[in-house]
Amino acid sequence: MNKIETKNLNLYYGTFHALKGITMSVKANTVTALIGPSGCGKSTYLRLFNRMNDLIPGVKIEGDVLLDEKDIYNNKGMRIDELRKKVGMVFQKPNPFPKSIFENVAYGLRVNGMNHASFVEERVETSLKQAALWDEVKDKLKKSAFALSGGQQQRLCIARALAIEPSVLLMDEPASALDPISTAKIEDLIYELKNKYTIIIVTHNMQQAGRVSDKTAFFYLGDLIEYNDTNIIFTNPTDPNTQSYVTGRFG
């Protein structure tokens, strides 16, 4: 069964045709990397799955976007807040709230009405452990999240996303602002999280796509040029444009 699927998906920003007839499916518990030059549509595609594009004026979406085989756009029973509980997101720059480490992770639980103290404490600990951050912060949970390093803040944001137990995690260049050690921790984390979550990651780092993903999709000018096993994309891609891009000879 496909966890996520788009069928003949077209997206327009006003008159600009940003995604052109994208048909693609993602299996559960896999990591899929979206690659391509800036402006190719990969972040737009990523944001489809938690309906982040809805906030942009003039957006028009045609086609089907399915989560667990249910359409998330043409579905009157689908509430956006319910969707975003199932689909978490981590952004390029760490964006912790101006709150304590504990309250950052507890935030999603509280806004969803889960306030029971022992339940919240347990979920915060579990999420921080899943994000490989617990050992570093367990003695300073009441300190400001801003006291953490950039890499720790990003793992905190991952813990915050995990706290509401989504099944899909969207990551938009989650390590591009981090040093190599923090990047390695995030990549190891992605590898671990794959067991429980379906992950889609946008990255400009080809080696990172190679290291973390099972499948890679190459986008160019709004088209999905090639979607294949990552090892095929990086050893013997089918499309000449993919080969030019991954070998750094594009344009």
Partner 1 sequence: MTHLDVELKRLKDEIVEMFELVTQQMKKSQLAFIGFDREIAREVNFNEKRVNALELKIDKDCENIFALFNPVAIDLRFVLAVLKINSNLERIGDIADGISRYVIGTGNPFDKELIDITRVNEMFVMAVQMLSDVQKAFDSEDTKIARGIFQKDDLLDEINENANSVIENYIRSHEGNISQSLHIISAIRKLERTGDQVKNVAEEIIFFLEAKVLKHVSEK
Interface residue list for partner 1 (CB under 8 A):
206-207, 210, 234-237, 243, 246-249
Which one, 10 or 176, has the nearer CB to partner 1? 176
Which one, 9 or 246, has the nearer CB to partner 1? 246
Which one, 59 or 206, has the nearer CB to partner 1? 206
Q: Hey, is 226 helix, strand or coil? A: strand
CB of 237 to partner 1, least distance (A): 6
Which one, 169 or 225, has the nearer CB to partner 1? 225
Closest alpha carbon to 66 in 26, 100, 34, 30: 26
CB of 183 to partner 1, least distance (A): 15
Q: In whole angstroms, how far apart are CA 53 and each of 65, 115, 185?
A: 13, 30, 29
Distance (Å, rounded) from C-alpha 220 to C-alpha 213?
Answer: 19
- Which amino acid would we find at residue 84? R
What six digits make up the tokens of 16?
Answer: 């600009």
CB of 200 to partner 1, least distance (A): 21
CB of 101 to partner 1, least distance (A): 36
According to the 3-state scheme, what is the secondary structure of 161-197?
HHHCCCCEEEEECCCCCCCHHHHHHHHHHHHHHCCCC
CB of 246 to partner 1, least distance (A): 5
CB of 242 to partner 1, least distance (A): 8
- Which amino acid would we find at residue 221? L
Judge contact between 41 and 59, C-beta under 8 A.
no
Which one, 130 or 208, has the nearer CB to partner 1? 208
According to the 3-state scheme, what is the secondary structure of 114-142?
CCCHHHHHHHHHHHHHHCCCHHHHCCCCC
Which one, 118 or 236, has the nearer CB to partner 1? 236
Helices 150-163 & 117-130 angle (0-180, nearest 10): 130
